[in-house]
Amino acid sequence: MLNSVVLIVDDDEKIADLLKAYFVRENFTVVTAADGPSALVALKKSKPDIILLDLMLPGIDGFEVLKRMRKEGASVPVIMLTARGEESDKLVGLEIGADDYISKPFSPKEVVARAKAVLRRAKGAKEEKADVIKIGKITIDMNKHELTKSGKALEMTPIELKILELLCRQPGHVLSRLQIIEKVQGYDFEGYERTVDAHIKNIRKKIEDDQKKPKYLLTVFGVGYKFVNPQEKD
């Protein structure tokens, strides 16, 4: 990924240096931060293409860093680095805007490969579909990587936009969680189907008037999800 900038946020100097060495070999520009406040400063200064974010950080933990990033409108892809094994922590991270996660200990080569895959998906969301999708009050402009509702721009992470685009291109058609993972994340994704639920929940927060009573992004129990135009419902 020539000229891509990666921000590595980890308070373990050995891990940060090891990852830096591997990314430099792949022609990335590498920026590092050892705590939460430094990560937020580096985000604004370096404008990274992707972030590797450890959850256990001094000052401000990774969860809070991610929350602040997304609240401020930063849509840069984020891969969580975590030693925690609890599924709930990973789901919380995905719900607040992470694109993927890697559990420690990990192979540096795998981290680089996963980062490249996330970057390809993020760039694909911007470049592959050069058109506009309109359903009801929702408009997705793939040229601008922009979602609007009733003309108001809503900030979306690359994976959120990709999931929404996938469902919007087949309005009324139900896709299973596995189908969504395969089409959006790729067959090599090592996550689990519940990650889709986390992303769907996050999308609903942004596009629905009441996320507990969704009108656009509906659950088909036992099957998966579909996107509908509420103006066309009976």
**Residue among 79, 183, 177, 205 nearest 124 (CA):** 183
Count the neighbouring beta carbons within 10 Å of the beta carbon of residue 108.
Answer: 15
Domains and CATH numbers, the chain: 5-125 (3.40.50.2300), 129-232 (1.10.10.10)
Contacts of 228 (CB under 8 A, 6+ apart): 171, 172, 215, 216, 218
Q: Please tell me the predicted confidence (pLDDT) of residue 37.
A: 93
Q: Structure pTM?
A: 0.62
CB 175 within 8 A of CB 168: no
Tell me how far the alpha carbon of residue 87 is from its chain's centroid: 17
Q: What is the β-pairing status of strands 146-149 and 100-103? A: unpaired
Please give the chain's pLDDT, 234 residues, in tens: 557 899 999 999 999 999 999 999 999 999 999 999 999 999 999 999 999 999 888 889 999 999 898 888 778 899 988 876 666 667 777 778 888 888 888 899 989 998 988 888 777 655 555 478 888 888 888 777 788 888 888 888 888 888 998 898 888 889 988 888 877 776 555 556 678 888 999 999 999 989 889 999 999 998 899 998 887 654
Packed helices 108-127 and 13-25: angle between N→C axes, nearest 10 degrees: 60
Q: Please tell me the predicted confidence (pLDDT) of residue 225.
A: 94
Q: Where are the beta strands (DSSP E) in the chain?
A: 5-9, 29-33, 50-54, 78-82, 100-103, 132-135, 138-141, 146-149, 152-154, 217-220, 224-227
d(C-alpha 63, C-alpha 130), whole Å: 33
Q: Please tell me the predicted confidence (pLDDT) of residue 19.
A: 95
d(C-alpha 58, C-alpha 133), whole Å: 43
- Which residue is associated with the tokens 């519940």? 194
Q: Please tell me the predicted confidence (pLDDT) of residue 130.
A: 47
